[in-house]
Structure 1
Amino acid sequence: MCSHKPSCPTAEDTDHEAARVVSSHPEQGWSLLCNGVVLFDDTGELLPDGAVVAPHRPRVAA
């Protein structure tokens, strides 16, 4: 999907969140990355194959 040079990480790469945003919808809380990943404001993700990545916010020290 990515036409950038150099290419963005694919959805299968561990750094897939580094891909460029192609469509941003902050009012709805999500962005579409050029590798097909939907990134949600709560840090959850929806991958192009339908797999879900649970939110992974850093833990706050008590």
Structure 2
Amino acid sequence: MSDLPAGLAKPAIRALTNANLLQLEQISKISEAELKQLHGIGPNAVKQIRNALEAKGLTFSK
């Protein structure tokens, strides 16, 4: 079961699925720069993911 943000665009969901990043905890193990390199991840998706991470007390890796 995924805990990705509900309003995430389909290209962003596909990009995360293809990278096997289905949980916020998994995403917290990569840097924001690495996330931005995934095809389909735009500024809005990064913002939504950052907010979702913060809501769970997580951050991007440094």
TM-score calculated relative to the size of structure 1: 0.30
Q: Which protein is richer in strand relative to its size?
A: 1
Larger of the two Rg values belongs to structure: 1
Which protein has greater RCO, CA pairs closer than 8 Å, 6+ apart?
2
Q: Which protein is richer in helix relative to its size?
A: 2
TM-score calculated relative to the size of structure 2: 0.30
